[in-house]
Amino acid sequence: MHCLFCQHVDTRVIDSRASEDGATIRRRRECEACGERFSTLETIELKLPAVIKTDGRREAFETRKLRQSFDRALHKRPVPEEQVEAAVRAVVHQLRMTTEREVQSRRIGEFVIAELRKLDHIGFVRFASVYRSFQDVADFRNELDRLERETPDEGQLPLPGVGAEAEVFPPGQAGGKPRKR
């Protein structure tokens, strides 16, 4: 690293110290030419991949938007705040683990679906029905049936049939306002 003061091409590290949490290293440097000293801080680069949207445009990943997806899916559902936060963190973590520079928004959606599935079945179905855009009602029923088979005793799901779609589809899906029967 060059000298901050005289622009000499090299400086000598005279001391290195890791921070308590081990996330940063402070290095004390000395210029061989002018003798000035200064510190540098080294941190781990945690770069999140850019998001490729369905229309092909790219945008920077925003945790805020991810959180909004969870909030929309879990609207009025009895899921504790800390569990939602943990789920958001889990998705961000998975994104960091991908080594790619760009990731399809669809893939992020699948991470979200996996987390919602563990959190709340209604939230899961709400999100999945929009995200995977189920081809028709039969598709949707299949997903509900599959969920019921996998979790026979929790009783979280509305019975398929009476009122199920009305509760599950958010306004704007499946033709406007949820129908009351």
For binding to Zn ion (CB under 5 A), which residues are involved?
3, 5-6, 8, 31, 33-34
Q: What are the DSSP E strand ranges found in the chain?
A: 11-18, 24-31, 37-43, 50-52, 58-59, 102-104
CB of 29 to Zn ion, least distance (A): 10
Closer CB to Zn ion, residue 34 or residue 50? 34
CB of 6 to Zn ion, least distance (A): 3
| Angstrom distance (rounded) from CA 65 to CA 51 | 12
Q: What φ, ψ does residue 13 adopt, rounded to 5°?
A: -80, 120
Closer CB to Zn ion, residue 29 or residue 121? 29
Q: What φ, ψ does residue 108 adopt, rounded to 5°?
A: -60, -40
CB of 33 to Zn ion, least distance (A): 5
Question: What are the distances in angstroms from CA 52 to CA 17, 98, 102, 154?
Answer: 39, 14, 7, 37
Closer CB to Zn ion, residue 40 or residue 173? 40
Closer CB to Zn ion, residue 14 or residue 137? 14
CB of 43 to Zn ion, least distance (A): 24
Residue with tokens 């028709």: 136
